[in-house]
């Protein structure tokens, strides 16, 4: 797994992605595994406060909060994160589960 660092490249690789799963974990555990978010500032509409873009087995996935509208809540209280991608996230979820000791996988779209 590799975190995408270049913001411009991030948009190119994730254009057309959609929600694939939810995971239960914390902001601090995500930072521990992935480092600072690829997109550390809120989106223009404030729907996403923090977002990581990662390449996993040749596919690109995003991990992001959704509609907390508050960076403090995202960092300190949020325990359910969205996973976006273009393909099934099953193998990526397995990897995250092992690495993050995820609280639980809430839902997985196939």
Query: Which pLDDT tens digit goes with each residue over 43-77?
Result: 999 999 999 999 999 999 999 999 999 999 999 99
Query: How much is the pTM?
Result: 0.86
Rg (CA), the chain: 13
CA atoms in the 13 A half-sphere facing the CB of 4:
22
Instruction: List the structure tokens of 47.
Output: 């729907």
Question: Smallest Cα–Cα separation from 30: which of 86, 88, 103, 85?
Answer: 103
| Separation of alpha carbons 8 and 13, rounded Å | 9
pLDDT of the residue at 8: 61
pLDDT the model gives residue 41:
95
Query: From edge to edge, which strands make up the β-sheet containing 80-85?
Result: 2-3, 51-56, 59-64, 80-85, 18-24, 105-108
**Boundaries of every domain in the chain:** 2-108
Each residue of 20-50: pLDDT tens digit? Answer: 999 999 999 999 999 999 999 999 999 999 9
């Amino acid at each position: 797994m590799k975190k995408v660092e270049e913001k411009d490249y991030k948009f190119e690789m994730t254009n057309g992605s959609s929600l694939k799963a939810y995971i239960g974990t914390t902001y601090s555990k995500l930072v521990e595994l992935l480092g600072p978010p690829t997109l550390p500032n809120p989106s223009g509409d404030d729907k996403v406060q923090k977002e990581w873009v990662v390449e996993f087995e040749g596919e690109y996935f995003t991990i992001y909060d959704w509609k907390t509208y508050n960076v403090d809540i995202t960092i300190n209280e949020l325990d359910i994160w969205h996973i976006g991608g273009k393909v099934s996230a099953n193998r990526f979820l397995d990897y995250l589960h092992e690495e993050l000791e995820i609280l639980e996988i809430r839902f997985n779209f196939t």
